[in-house]
A = this chain, B = another copy of it.
Amino acid sequence: MGQDSLPDNGLPAEFGFIARNFRPLAGDGALDLRDDAAVFTPPAGRQIVVAADAMVEGVHFLPDDPPDTVGRKLLRCNLSDLAAMDAVPLGYLLTVSMPPARDDVWFAAFAAGLAQDQKQFGITLLGGDTTSTSGPLVLSLTVLGHVAPGMALRRCGARVGDGIWVTGTIGDGAMGLLARQGRVADPDGFLASRYQLPRPRLGLELAGVATAGMDISDGLVQDLGHMARESGVGAEIGSALVPLSPTVRALGPQWLEHCLAGGDDYELLLAVPPEHEAQLLHHAARRDVPVTRIGQFVAGRGVRVLNESGAEMVLARRGWSHLPSAV
């Protein structure tokens, strides 16, 4: 909080900062970011879907990640939550707690990235807040969407016999973090870009197709465990069935376990009864989204990962926690 030094226009520094960087992102309902809140008319006959995520510098993104990717990553993670509920995006709110070291040049690029994604995903900024912090940059984003009444996809609907499906490839985000840390090769920057820019799998029209859905953010095995537990079933996947990108395959099989447990995938995990598989493939093809069946839900509890000979793999870890274990 800085004491207002009354620059030439008689407005605090914050107003110029918001006007320069964020007002161009504001859309219908945002009231030009000039009021206390945004106002919009909810789409007729639809339910509202809403999710919030925070990202902290040094935890969810690296201090030297390109500024245009940082806001987009958070936006896309939130859009991925909407995708998991089979919802259509409406808009978002963003709060920024900024350390003094981040200057206007950095935020201009940050906002330019958001502008690009707004166009791609057909949404605009509804509101937010900027404040200073003595710590690392913290971003918090709330996304709003809509869905047909009663049709939001839940985690708890998987049934014994449903196939376990994933979109895209698994592990690129986790390997991308290693690549950014110089721990694996990434000659063309594919892995880094997957870590920095997840691809929310919106528009798959999963209502009536999938019985359960969620996005994979904290590691495939751990997140599958959540879906299985919430649904009261067990899960079995084949490690060889899990789709890996050519880049990850080229790095060798020693990274498989890291991919199964790594975070930052932001792909969808779906439960799909066999009789709906054709429909899923049809919808996925229309959106040009690869989908792969990696196993099935079974009676019982927990997640079993089977290797190519059908033996259960023992995993050293299954996913990521956002808090230290001591908490």
Residues of A within 8 A of B (CB): 1-7, 10, 12-14, 16-17, 31, 34-42, 47-56, 58-60, 80-82, 84-85, 87, 93-100, 103-104, 126-136, 138, 140, 142, 144-145, 147, 149, 152, 154-156, 214-215, 218-219, 222, 225-226, 230, 261, 263, 302, 317-327
Among B35, B80, B103, B218, point to the contact of A214 (Cβ < 8 A): B35
Main secondary structure of the interface of A (DSSP, over half): mixed
Given the known interface contacts A85-B39, A95-B54, the answer about A100 and B47 at a Cβ–Cβ threshold of 8 Å is no
What residues of chain B lie closer than 8 Å to A129, measured between beta carbons?
A: 52-54, 140, 322
The residue of chain B having its C-beta at the shortest distance from the C-beta of A146 within the complex is B42
- Contact indicator A134/B131 (Cβ below 8 Å): no
- Contact indicator A321/B12 (Cβ below 8 Å): yes
What residues of chain B lie closer than 8 Å to A214, measured between beta carbons?
A: 35-36
What residues of chain B lie closer than 8 Å to A222, measured between beta carbons?
A: 4, 12
**Distance A219 CA – B14 CA, assembled complex (angstroms):** 14
- Contact indicator A42/B42 (Cβ below 8 Å): yes
- Contact indicator B133/A56 (Cβ below 8 Å): yes
What residues of chain B lie closer than 8 Å to A81, measured between beta carbons?
A: 36-37
What residues of chain B lie closer than 8 Å to A149, measured between beta carbons?
A: 41
Given the known interface contacts A10-B225, A138-B133, A317-B3, the answer about A37 and B323 at a Cβ–Cβ threshold of 8 Å is no
| Nearest CB of chain B from residue A178's CB, rounded to whole Å | 14
The residue of chain B having its C-beta at the shortest distance from the C-beta of A323 within the complex is B14
- Contact indicator B131/A2 (Cβ below 8 Å): no
| Nearest CB of chain B from residue A223's CB, rounded to whole Å | 10
| Nearest CB of chain B from residue A63's CB, rounded to whole Å | 11
19 A-B pairs with CB atoms under 8 Å apart are: A1-B263, A1-B322, A2-B325, A3-B320, A10-B302, A37-B85, A39-B48, A48-B144, A50-B93, A52-B93, A52-B94, A52-B140, A52-B142, A54-B96, A56-B97, A97-B138, A100-B324, A132-B324, A135-B135
